[in-house]
Structure 1
């Protein structure tokens, strides 16, 4: 089913006018860069300092757990397994499961969701979901990789949230 979803996206959603924007957006998420910068900015503003530090810790912890899982599972990328799938952009050389872009995006988003009210919490979830979808659009992750990334980020952010007082936040 994973492969069928990717092929459906390739055939029905990809568009030449959209692809450059998806490539740009997904590149901002490499190594969690845009999420780390956003969390760091929050961490230096007195009013959002706690949220920023918790988001950074969630990003680091969840990202580390995701990388360990990736090393253990060692799932090949879908463009290496699905004959008719064409990956777009630079091809990653790491393993596929879970999606690191998704882990990083949602690790920060789940903390902000807990700590904000109103439109900010929805905005960050939409941005995280777009990051996750970009990985499917480009054909570099299976849907189950993305789903696993959300789960890893959820549990990682819950761990950071639960122990925030023990780490002085």
Structure 2
């Protein structure tokens, strides 16, 4: 039976083809949503958005994954995150070069709060990683753990448009791909396909509740 999460991959592929054909400048509501978010910056909140945009990916999710590998109870969650992130990095980087979309500031005025990135825009690597991590946690962890990190993932994703370096379509693409990767990896772990690695790390059989 086809797992429901495969529809996320189908959604990502379909949306990505649409983006590739029309370009992000012509994606419906993409420019309008970018301007709505980026053109209405609130100065006292800028430093928060800059912080999450710069540090909300590597500086949050790498330490979290490492910490979860320490207690035996949460080791399986940490391994799932690590496996999922590796897959996300590979597919995310490949997608950027396949779809080769330029960032907003090449097309329209953008109120930039961070230096201009030099790589392609679609899908957002930040949105991909944080959504991947957040959805892995929602599928494997207690509420006290996944709720704050889901909120963090949403803030990071929003911040990338707010600071002027991503289209809203980049964020949507990142969440679609991240959603599929997270649920696919979690399902593979539940099926025991990485059991030798789990035994090596002496993980508990089930995810913590």
Question: What do the CA deviations read for 1:10-33 (whole angstroms, capped 9, x no partner)?
Answer: 233x11211112111211135x34
Match of 1:24? 51
Q: Give, in angstroms, the shift of residue 97 of structure 1.
A: 0.2
Q: Does 1:71 align with 2:97?
A: yes
Secondary structure at 1:128 match in 2: helix
- CA–CA separation in structure 1 for the residues paired with 2:119 and 2:78: 29
Query: What displacement does 1:65 show?
Result: 0.6
Alignment size in residue pairs: 166
| Contact preservation (8 Å) 1:88, 1:139 | yes
TM-score, normalization: structure 1?
0.92
Q: Encode CA deviations 1:125-169: one digit per residue, 9 max, x unaligned.
A: 111011100101011111110011001111111221121111114
Paired with 1:36 and 1:10, the residues of 2 have a C-alpha distance of 28
Gaps of 5+ in 1: none
Measure, in 2, the Cα distance between the counterparts of 1:124 and 1:150. Answer: 14
Residues 64, 29 of structure 1: alpha-carbon distance in 2 compared, 3 angstrom cutoff: farther
- Asked if the contact 1:5–1:143 (Cα under 8 Å) also holds between the matched residues in 2, the reply is yes
Q: Which residue of 1 aligns with 2:181?
A: 156
Identify which of 135, 152, 160 aligns with 1:110: 135
TM-score normalised per structure 2:
0.75
Ranges in structure 2 where 5+ consecutive residues have no aligned partner: 1-28, 199-209
Give the superposed CA RMSD: 1.4
Cα distance in 2, alignment partners of residues 11 and 161 from structure 1: 38
Name which of 93, 106, 119 aligns with 1:80: 106
Is 1:89–2:114 an aligned residue pair?
A: yes
Q: CA deviation at 1:80?
A: 1.1
Over 3 Å off, 4+ runs = none
The CA distance in 2 between the partners of 1:73 and 1:11, in whole Å, is 26
Q: Is the 8 A contact 1:36 1:59 kept in 2?
A: no
CA distance in 1, matches of 2:37, 2:134: 25
User: Contact conserved, 2:128 with 2:177, CA < 8 A, in 1?
Assistant: yes
Partners of 2:136 and 2:38 in 1: how far apart?
Answer: 32
